[in-house]
Amino acid sequence: MHLDHAQHGPAAVSADSARPDGTRRALRIGLGGPVGSGKTATVAALCRTLRDELSIAVVTNDIYTREDAAFLLREAVLPPERIQAVETGACPHTAIRDDISANLEAVEDLEDSIAPLDLILVESGGDNLTATFSRGLVDAQIFVIDVAGGDDIPRKGGPGVTTSDLLVVNKTDLAPHVGSDLEGMARDAGAQRGELPVAFTSLKSEDGVKPVADWVRGQLAAWTA
Ligand SMILES: Nc1nc2c(ncn2[C@@H]2O[C@H](COP(=O)(O)OP(=O)(O)OP(=O)(O)O)[C@@H](O)[C@H]2O)c(=O)[nH]1
């Protein structure tokens, strides 16, 4: 069993890849998942790993604050003009699924001010297992859960677990401490997701984000093909 490598799986990109001026727009990838699973840490690690090979920008969503953007700025993962924050109010899932206007505006602002961009990462506010992105906002989505949230989460399903283009099971370093069964999680995720890929990560280890970064590279290769 390969617990640490994501298969690339079929590219899940939509067809409207052109900007109004005919140039190709950036690939938009959403990251969603429960509170504290490691979405911001994954975004930060992806930026550090990919920023020398790709032109990247980030949109963060927080309920009442701009804390995730502030973290990314503090960590200097990208220049400040490449990071935009959206405050969502009480329902983070609404801003990524139902009324996506604030997020679309942020994405389009970044496209206009920092062309050319290869990749825009849109991080949702922490939510529950049912929160997914509108396909009108992102081309592909990653759902981040963690082993400390309970090793029965893949078995419970929900649209994030079953339909996301990549499922990330983060914080594998904590598995021995919380008694999580990684093999069982991999089996349950496979049963829920069929051929869709799953990556097991620990962002505490050197290059722990590699399986996610490789998956992003695969999505971009399909986007630009
Ligand atoms: N041990 C361990 N801790 C991690 C890992 N990834 C993230 N964390 C920690 O988990 C906590 C939450 O991580 P965040 O990246 O802020 O999680 P988030 O999903 O963005 O949280 P919200 O935006 O509040 O929903 C932080 O203290 C991280 O340092 C990991 O792989 N292993």
CA of 115: how far to CAs of 23, 79, 82, in Å? 10, 14, 11
In a domain, 167, yes or no: yes
Tell how far the Cα of 171 is from the centroid of ligand 1, in angstroms.
Answer: 8
Q: How many structural domains are present in the chain? A: 1
Smallest Cα–Cα separation from 68: which of 39, 94, 27? 39
96 domain residue, yes or no: yes
d(CA 138, CA 8): 18
Closest ligand 1 atom to 71 CA = 16
Do the Cβ atoms of 202 and 171 come closer than 8 Å?
yes
Give residue-wise pLDDT tens across range 42-99. Answer: 999 999 999 999 999 999 998 877 888 999 999 999 999 999 999 888 788 889 998 9
The C-alpha atoms of residue 8 and residue 165 are separated, in whole angstroms, by 10
Burial 35-72, CB ≥16 within 10 A → b, else e: eebbbbbbbbbbbbbbeeebbbbbbbbbbeebebbebb
The answer to the question of residue 10 being in a domain is: no
Q: List own/partner pairs for 184-192 with CB under 8 A and 24 or more apart.
A: 184/151, 185/147, 185/151, 185/153, 185/154, 186/1, 186/3, 188/152, 188/154, 188/155, 189/154, 189/161, 191/155, 192/154, 192/155, 192/157, 192/161, 192/162
Could you tell me if residue 175 is inside a domain? Answer: yes
The reply to whether 9 sits in an annotated binding site is no
Q: What value of ipTM does the predicted structure carry?
A: 0.99
Q: What is the pLDDT of residue 16?
A: 66
**Ligand 1, CB cutoff 6 Å, lining residues:** 35-41, 68, 126, 170-171, 173-174, 202-204
Residue 174 lies in a domain: yes
- Following CA atoms 56, 205, 210, 32 in sequence, which dihedral angle do they give, to the nearest 10 degrees? -60
Across the 225 residues of the chain, what is the mean pLDDT of every consecutive 10-residue run?
43 57 89 95 98 97 85 94 89 88 96 94 87 94 95 91 97 96 96 97 96 98 92
Which residue segment(s) compose the domain that 122 sits in?
27-224
Both tokens of residue 131? 């929160």
- The pLDDT mean for the chain works out to 90
| Residue 67 in domain | yes
The sign one gets for the Cα dihedral 18, 14, 221, 48 is positive
User: Is 36 flagged in the annotation as binding?
Assistant: yes
Tell me the pTM: 0.92
Phi, psi of 104 (to 5 degrees): -65, -40
Q: Which of 203, 205, 210 to mutate to test the pocket of ligand 1 (most atoms within 8 A of CB)?
A: 203
- Tell me if 9 is assigned to some domain: no
Dihedral pair phi/psi, residue 121, rounded to 5°: -95, 125
Q: What CATH number does residue 157 fall under?
A: 3.40.50.300
160 marked as part of a ligand binding site: no
Could you identify the atom of ligand 1 that is nearest to the CA of residue 144? 19
CB 213 within 8 A of CB 29: no
CA–CA distance, 88 with 94 (Å, rounded to integer): 8
Can you read off the two tokens belonging to residue 10? 């079929």
For ligand 1, atom 12, which residue shows the shortest CA distance?
36
CA nearest ligand 1 atom 13, residue: 38
Ligand 1 midpoint to CA 170 (Å): 9
- Which residue lies with its CA nearest to atom 23 of ligand 1? 126
In the three-class reduction of DSSP (H, G, I as helix; E, B as strand; rest coil), residue 92 is classed as helix
Is residue 11, in this structure, part of any structural domain at all?
A: no
| CA-angle at 211, arms to 192 and 119, nearest 5° | 100
* pLDDT in the model for residue 1: 39
Work out the percent of the chain whose per-residue pLDDT is above 70: 92
